[in-house]
Protein backbone atom coordinates (compact mmCIF):
# COMPACT_ATOMS: atom_id res chain seq x y z
CA UNK A 1 0.00 0.00 0.00
CA UNK A 2 1.42 3.40 -0.91
CA UNK A 3 1.98 5.97 1.79
CA UNK A 4 -0.89 8.10 0.45
CA UNK A 5 -3.27 5.16 0.61
CA UNK A 6 -2.06 4.29 4.07
CA UNK A 7 -2.56 7.88 5.23
CA UNK A 8 -6.07 7.88 3.74
CA UNK A 9 -6.87 4.58 5.45
CA UNK A 10 -5.71 5.98 8.77
CA UNK A 11 -7.76 9.16 8.32
CA UNK A 12 -10.80 7.05 7.40
CA UNK A 13 -10.34 4.95 10.52
CA UNK A 14 -10.14 8.06 12.66
CA UNK A 15 -13.09 9.77 11.00
CA UNK A 16 -15.48 6.85 10.67
CA UNK A 17 -14.63 4.71 13.66
CA UNK A 18 -13.29 7.23 16.17
CA UNK A 19 -15.58 10.07 15.04
CA UNK A 20 -12.68 12.48 14.57
CA UNK A 21 -13.96 15.68 12.92
CA UNK A 22 -10.43 16.84 12.03
CA UNK A 23 -9.76 13.61 10.16
CA UNK A 24 -13.07 13.94 8.31
CA UNK A 25 -12.14 17.46 7.27
CA UNK A 26 -8.71 16.29 6.08
CA UNK A 27 -10.41 13.62 3.95
CA UNK A 28 -12.74 16.22 2.46
CA UNK A 29 -9.82 18.51 1.66
CA UNK A 30 -8.06 15.59 0.01
CA UNK A 31 -11.15 14.86 -2.12
CA UNK A 32 -11.43 18.49 -3.18
CA UNK A 33 -7.75 18.56 -4.15
CA UNK A 34 -8.22 15.40 -6.21
CA UNK A 35 -11.47 16.71 -7.72
CA UNK A 36 -13.57 13.85 -6.43
CA UNK A 37 -17.31 14.20 -6.80
CA UNK A 38 -19.32 11.45 -5.11
CA UNK A 39 -16.74 10.70 -2.44
CA UNK A 40 -16.33 14.43 -1.76
CA UNK A 41 -20.07 14.66 -1.06
CA UNK A 42 -19.89 11.65 1.25
CA UNK A 43 -16.91 13.12 3.07
CA UNK A 44 -18.61 16.53 3.30
CA UNK A 45 -21.67 14.97 4.93
CA UNK A 46 -19.47 12.93 7.24
CA UNK A 47 -17.53 16.04 8.28
CA UNK A 48 -20.81 17.89 8.81
CA UNK A 49 -22.21 15.06 10.94
CA UNK A 50 -19.08 15.11 13.08
CA UNK A 51 -19.25 18.86 13.61
CA UNK A 52 -16.15 19.77 11.61
CA UNK A 53 -15.51 23.45 10.96
CA UNK A 54 -16.52 23.61 7.31
CA UNK A 55 -15.45 26.65 5.35
CA UNK A 56 -17.24 28.44 2.50
CA UNK A 57 -14.98 26.71 -0.04
CA UNK A 58 -16.21 23.31 1.20
CA UNK A 59 -19.84 24.37 0.83
CA UNK A 60 -19.22 25.87 -2.60
CA UNK A 61 -17.49 22.76 -3.89
CA UNK A 62 -20.24 20.35 -2.89
CA UNK A 63 -23.00 22.75 -3.93
CA UNK A 64 -21.66 22.70 -7.50
CA UNK A 65 -21.52 18.92 -7.51
CA UNK A 66 -24.94 18.47 -5.92
CA UNK A 67 -26.53 20.79 -8.47
CA UNK A 68 -25.74 18.26 -11.20
CA UNK A 69 -27.20 15.23 -9.41
CA UNK A 70 -30.74 13.93 -9.19
CA UNK A 71 -32.62 13.78 -5.91
CA UNK A 72 -32.30 9.98 -5.99
CA UNK A 73 -28.53 10.14 -6.43
CA UNK A 74 -28.24 12.63 -3.57
CA UNK A 75 -30.34 10.36 -1.35
CA UNK A 76 -28.05 7.40 -2.11
CA UNK A 77 -24.98 9.49 -1.33
CA UNK A 78 -26.50 10.67 1.96
CA UNK A 79 -27.23 7.05 2.87
CA UNK A 80 -23.64 6.09 2.09
CA UNK A 81 -22.39 8.89 4.35
CA UNK A 82 -24.61 7.75 7.22
CA UNK A 83 -23.47 4.15 6.76
CA UNK A 84 -19.81 5.14 7.24
CA UNK A 85 -20.36 6.12 10.86
CA UNK A 86 -20.42 3.18 13.20
CA UNK A 87 -22.91 3.35 16.05
Distance CA 82, CA 70 (A): 19
Which residue range forms the structural domain that includes residue 13? 3-84
Q: What is the pLDDT of residue 81?
A: 86
Q: Note the pLDDT tens digit of each residue in 17-38.
A: 999 999 999 999 999 999 999 9
DSSP 70: -
Q: What is the pLDDT of residue 86?
A: 64
Give me the number of domains the chain comprises. Answer: 1
Q: How would residue 71 be classed by pLDDT, with cut points 50, 70 and 90? A: very high
The model's pTM is 0.90
Phi-psi bin for 68: left (phi > 0), alpha (psi -120 to 50), beta? alpha
Distance CA 54, CA 48 (A): 7
The terminus-to-terminus CA distance of the chain in angstroms comes to 28
Amino acid sequence: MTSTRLATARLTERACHQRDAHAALALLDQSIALRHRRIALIRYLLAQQLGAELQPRHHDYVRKIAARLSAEALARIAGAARARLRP
